[in-house]
Amino acid sequence: MNGFQWLGFRTLFLKELLRFVKVSFQTVAAPVLTALLYLLIFGHVMDGNVRVFEGVPYTSFLVPGLVMMSVLQNAFANSSSSMIQSKITGNIVFVLLPPLSHWEMYAAYVLAAMARGMVVGFGVFIVTVWFTHLHFTSPLWILVFALLGSAILGTLGLIGGIWADKFDQIAAFQNFFIMPMTFLSGVFYSVRSLPPFWQGLSHLNPFFYMVDGFRYGFFGQSDVSPWTSLAVVSAALLVVAAIALRLLSNGYKLRH
């Protein structure tokens, strides 16, 4: 097989897009409502009592974190649910039979996951921005970290879906790994407010750099340099992409 099979990639990509578009009330509207509830509860309780960045109200600080959290969680949910459902129902065979390489499969699954993450994130932003005033210091940083973060979580979802044999396992992967890493990434607080030990521990969490770099694009302020965040997030994407491509090329738990 020579070259990238664009027709096969496009077909699988469109199939993955349609998966979440056809049930958008569940895959898009529900996460947006959840993020809005977070904003209303935390913003009401904390706004006026907490200042994280100089001159930035807590509600304004919270909105980018909620947007990025929604992007990450929904990118993971899209690729992981698609892969595990295909394996359990047996229709993964229809993906494996065509002459698709591991590159084309990876690109289709991850780009569709990124699309869902970005759509949900944009929806969260549109709904929550009415509750505060936001300005864009560096829009390019916002876009870069949203794309890289959704790509990483889309890839992790693919890895989790390949590894898992049943829904319980993918749920455990999300509940005991993705969810804690997301909530402990500085979505609701600044890492600077933590004791030194927990600050150091937070710096080992790659999700922290995704959220921190994304937030920098709004306020021009962050806990670490955006260039440091970019380096960490890029390295994380290379690592998880290499793992996913290796699993796909070997047919791990897919062709056996």
3-class DSSP state of 92: coil
Residue 52 lies in a domain: yes
Number of domains in the chain: 1
Residue 5 lies in a domain: no
Range of the domain at 172: 27-250
Residue 13 lies in a domain: no
Residue 20 lies in a domain: no
Residue type at 99 in one-letter notation: P
Residue 19 lies in a domain: no
Residue 155 lies in a domain: yes
Residue 8 lies in a domain: no
Look at the pTM and tell me if it is higher than 0.85: yes
pLDDT tens for the chain, residues 1 to 256:
467 889 989 999 999 999 999 999 999 999 999 999 999 888 777 766 666 777 788 888 999 999 999 999 999 999 999 999 999 998 899 898 888 999 999 999 999 999 999 999 999 999 998 888 888 899 999 999 999 999 999 999 999 999 999 999 999 999 999 999 998 898 988 888 888 888 888 899 999 999 999 999 999 999 999 999 999 999 999 999 999 999 999 999 987 6
C-alpha–C-alpha distance, residues 30 and 73, integer Å: 12
The values of phi and psi at residue 245, to 5°, are -65, -35
Residue 2 lies in a domain: no
Of 20, 12, 34, 40, give the one whose Cα is nearest residue 108.
12
For CA atoms 74, 111, 127, 142, the dihedral sign is positive
234 burial via Cβ count (<10 Å: 0-12, 13-18, 19+) = middle
- How large is the C-alpha radius of gyration of the chain? 19
CA distances 238 to 201, 204, 235, Å, are: 22, 17, 5
CA distances 15 to 70, 95, 109, 147, Å, are: 22, 11, 10, 21
C-alpha–C-alpha distance, residues 184 and 182, integer Å: 5
